[in-house]
């Protein structure tokens, strides 16, 4: 158990290594883990499948409200076109509102939870016991994403991955509702020159210091 800390919020930009650290923290503390990006990706995927227009807010919000856990298991959710559409639907207040309950319900179930996303520490769980904001330079993040894609056998060009990531970061950081930014009380970790182990150890000392 992480002392008195029941909710751990892990936010940050694309491919900063949030998922890796969040999963490892969940394992370490015996907590449940939710990658909230998958919720927006699942909505984006269905918008693409069904050829919906972004102006059709009511239909997209209904889809978001009706999302089931199995929808998060689609194997293609991590693709770049779905990521881009995810960040477009994520800018819609009706979509964010529809996904709020799912995330809060998940977080409240015992014994505790680690959620990774963009607005966990600022909007979803402003009272989270520990908040981390994991970042890295755009170039380092693009290299990591490229490696991930290549390991999956997907061909990709570094410049293109970097450009698409910057586009998504600009949209996520510039939107009016729940823009990407660290909570005032978050520990910001720049992982550009850190190993995954170093990031993990810094995170654990911070969480333990909060829970003591």
- CB under 6 A: which stretch of 23-31, 62-70, 115-123, 132-140 binds ligand CDP? 115-123
Nearer to ligand CDP, 14 or 187 (CB): 14
Nearer to ligand CDP, 148 or 208 (CB): 148
74-103: contacts with ligand CDP (CB under 6 A): 83, 86-87, 90
Q: Quick one: which of 15, 43, 45, 113 contacts ligand CDP (CB under 6 A)?
A: 15
- 172 is a site residue for ligand CDP (CB under 6 A): yes
Q: In what order do the strands lie in the sheet with 32-35?
A: 32-35, 113-117, 7-11, 130-135, 187-190
Q: Please say whether the beta carbons of 34 and 116 come within 8 A.
A: yes
Residue 119 CB, nearest distance to ligand CDP (Å)?
5
Q: Quick one: which of 29, 31, 33, 40 contacts ligand CDP (CB under 6 A)?
A: 40
Helix (H) / strand (E) element for 187: namely strand 187-190
- 164 is a site residue for ligand CDP (CB under 6 A): no
Distance in angstroms between the alpha carbons of the first and the last residue of the chain: 11
Beta bridge partners of 134: 189
Which among 149, 96, 156, 157 is positioned nearest to 122, based on CA atoms?
Answer: 96
- 186 is a site residue for ligand CDP (CB under 6 A): no
Nearer to ligand CDP, 122 or 210 (CB): 122
Q: Quick one: which of 138, 168, 191, 210 contacts ligand CDP (CB under 6 A)?
A: 168
The C-alpha atoms of residue 91 and residue 175 are separated, in whole angstroms, by: 6
The C-alpha atoms of residue 124 and residue 115 are separated, in whole angstroms, by: 10
Calculate the alpha carbon distances from 45 to 72, 75, 109, 119, 152 in Å: 10, 11, 27, 21, 19
Nearer to ligand CDP, 112 or 117 (CB): 117
Binding site for ligand CDP (CB under 6 A): 14-15, 36-37, 40-41, 83, 86-87, 90, 117-119, 168, 172
């Amino acid at each position: 158990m992480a002392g008195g800390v029941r909710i751990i919020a892990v936010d940050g930009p694309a491919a900063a290594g949030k998922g890796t650290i969040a999963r490892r923290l969940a394992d370490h503390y015996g907590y449940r883990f939710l990658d909230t990006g998958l919720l927006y990706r699942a909505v984006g995927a269905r918008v693409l499948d069904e050829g919906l227009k972004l102006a059709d807010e009511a239909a997209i919000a209904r889809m978001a409200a009706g999302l089931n856990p199995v929808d998060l298991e689609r194997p293609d959710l991590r693709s770049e076109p779905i990521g881009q559409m995810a960040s477009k639907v994520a800018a819609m207040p009706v979509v964010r509102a529809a996904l709020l309950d799912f995330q809060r319900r998940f977080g409240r179930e015992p014994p505790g939870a680690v959620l990774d996303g963009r607005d966990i520490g600022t909007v979803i769980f402003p009272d989270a016991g520990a908040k981390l904001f994991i970042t890295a330079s755009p170039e380092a993040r693009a290299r990591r994403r490229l490696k991930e894609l290549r390991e999956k056998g997907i061909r990709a060009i570094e410049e293109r991955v970097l450009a698409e990531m910057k586009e998504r970061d600009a949209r996520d950081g510039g939107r009016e509702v729940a823009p990407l930014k660290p909570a005032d009380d978050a520990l910001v970790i720049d992982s550009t020159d850190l190993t995954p182990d170093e990031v993990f150890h810094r995170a654990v000392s911070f969480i333990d210091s909060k829970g003591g």
